[in-house]
Structure 1
Amino acid sequence: MDHWYSINNKSVDLPYDFFLSLMWKGVDQLYEKADIFLKTIDLSSNNLTGEIPTEIEYLFGLISLNLSRNNLNGKIISKIGNFKSLEFLDLSRNHLSGKIPSSLAHIDRLTWLDLSNNQLYGKIPIGTQLQTFSASSFEGNSNLCGEPLDIKCPGEEPLKHQVPTTDAGDDDNSIFLEALYMSMGIGFFTSFVGFIGSMVLLSSWRDTYSKFLNALILRIFNWWKH
């Protein structure tokens, strides 16, 4: 952590370490850089007021942070993305305002998020993580927009369905196949009409075709009988 000191009317940023003295079984033990051991903060439902302390952003080892159901106001700390190990974040049911920090989208381990029922506004940052949560994680903020909410931000247009385009080669092939099938149909129809017409108009054709059918039927009958 860093702390500001005033020396000769000049502000100087001097580092200092955070120590924790813990009495355990009658033994006083001193822990250096104890902030890295803090994994969970749950101060929910305590009627807390004021803004979220910016000093909390130095607790790099946090895995779970629950400040829900209080009366906190102000903005979400801008460097919340420093919590690279954060898996659980619940800031719901407060009076937080402002935009959702873009750094929040950079926390890859986040598996639970609830920012609902605040006074947040603007577009939900786009990232690999935030859009995977349900809309319930952001509802209750009347001026929030963007995915996963079903509310378009001003100036955004819904995606239009594009009609697949076909190249000239596909068009040529389609025209060729249509012409082929049409010519085959016309040819079959012409042959069939010509055959039937010949049978009707020419008696010799009828006699020949009748004898052919009788011989074919007799041959099939003899083959089946043997």
Structure 2
Amino acid sequence: MGSVLELRVLILRNNSLMGELPFSMKHCKNLVMLDAGENKLSGIIPSWIGSSLQQLQMLSLRKNHFFGSIPLSLCFLNGIRFLDLSVNQLWGPIPKCFINFTAMTTQERFLTDSHHHSYIVNHTIIRHMYNYDIIALLMWKGVEHIFENDKLLLKGIDLSSNQLSEDIPTELGNLVELVALNLSRNNLTGIIPSEIGRLVSLEFLDLSRNHLFGSIPSSLAKIDRLSMLDVSHNNLSGMIPIGTQLQSFNATSYEENQDLCGLPLEKLCFVKEPHQESVVKTQDENDDFLQTFFMSMGLGFFVGFWGIFGTILFNRSCRHAYFRFLNNITEKVMSRWQRW
């Protein structure tokens, strides 16, 4: 197979192929589409796919027995439009270098050039050009669809049903031409990055059955094209952002998030009114002031009383001087009274 150097489209889907992808395929540098999904292929995903097959625009290895981490060499596939590695046994983080998928950041056509739809056969005297069709059966938005030729105008990433872990890279927010993103059924943690809201072309987003926590970013409400959303079976909390788009989905899109509230869920959020909260805060401040004032008065009275009368009570000389002082005052007052 590696000797077929002009090979552009290779579809091996839905067979019982076992073992690893042959190393000789690295010589098929003109491959634009490789679909080896739904087989029994195993081993790690070969690094030569990214380093040698850099013309790939569509790669599907879904539903096999590949294991290990996603090779960083796949990030060399700058022209990739559709990447499907779902239903395998991949682990580790989602590579941040997916930001290099520049075809997912700009509006480009997929397999539409005549160079990709025809081939030339040289005879002894005449050259013949033959046209061919590209027909692909792809998992699209959770359902298998048949795409043909120019209808392959899709850009998506499907990494679902693996064992991927750690956070969702914020770098995915730069793939603004993504139409479908499926990261469901993994072991992803952390928050849903607000950068996902930059994917204005997104129609399908599935982050369900992970270990995500925190709130749903309000930026998701700005994706007008979003027709399917699933964040169920996580640890999300807080209020579902208010927006026509997010409230239009079924409650099942948000279920099994214990601390999530707001429509379309039946669990409503309790929000304190700012005015009421301000009044309560002011009342608390007044109570604290009065309590401090009375404590200060009590302490001052205690210190003053015992500072004066305690000295008179326990010191004999001071007590005698105090009573002499009272007698003198009394005598002066009485003498003046008698004069009047």
Please state if 1:62 is matched with 2:178. Answer: yes
Q: What aligned pairs does 1:10-159 form with structure 2 within 5 A after superposition?
A: 23-24=29-30, 33-36=102-105, 39-155=155-271
Q: Please give the alpha-carbon distance, in whole angstroms, between the structure 2 residues aligned to 1:118 and 1:25.
A: 39
Is the partner of 1:122 in helix, strand or coil?
strand
Q: Report the equivalent of 2:310.
A: none
Please give the alpha-carbon distance, in whole angstroms, between the structure 1 residues aligned to 2:31 and 2:157.
24
Aligned-pair distance for 1:25? 5.1
Structure 2: give runs of 5+ residues left out of the alignment: 1-27, 33-52, 56-77, 80-100, 109-153, 274-340
- Residues 98-124 of structure 1: CA distance to partner in whole angstroms, max 9, x if unpaired? 100000001010000000000000000
Displacement of 1:71 in angstroms is 0.2
Structure with bigger gyration radius = 1
SS in 1 for 2:194: coil
TM-score (norm 2): 0.37
Question: What is the rounded CA distance, in whole Å, between the counterparts of 2:240 and 2:258 in structure 1?
Answer: 12
Alpha-carbon displacement from aligned partner over 1:161-212 (angstroms, at most 9, x marks no partner): xxxxxxxxxxxxxxxxxxxxxxxxxxxxxxxxxxxxxxxxxxxxxxxxxxxx
1:129 alignment partner, SS class? helix
**Quick one: distance in 2 between partners of 1:41 and 1:115?**
17
Report the TM-score, using the length of structure 1 for normalisation.
0.55
Q: What is the alpha-carbon distance in structure 1 between the residues aligned to residue 104 and residue 216 of structure 2? A: 25
- Secondary structure (helix, strand or coil) at the match of 1:149 reads coil
Amino acid corresponding to residue 103 of structure 2 in structure 1? A
Structure 1 residues 90, 154: CA separation in 2 closer, same or farther (over 3 Å shift)?
A: same
Q: How large is the Cα RMSD of the aligned pairs?
A: 2.5
- Give the share of equivalent positions with the same residue, in percent: 58
The alignment partner of 2:237 has SS state of: strand
Q: Structure 1's 109 and 25: CA in aligned 2 closer, same or farther, altered over 3 A?
A: closer
Which residues of structure 1 form unaligned runs of 5+?
1-21, 158-226
| 4+ runs deviating over 2 angstroms | 25-38
Match of 2:4 in 1: none
What amino acid does structure 2 have at the position aligned with 1:110? L
Give the AA of the match of 1:58: N
Question: Structure 1 residues 25, 116: closer, same or farther in 2, change over 3 A?
Answer: closer
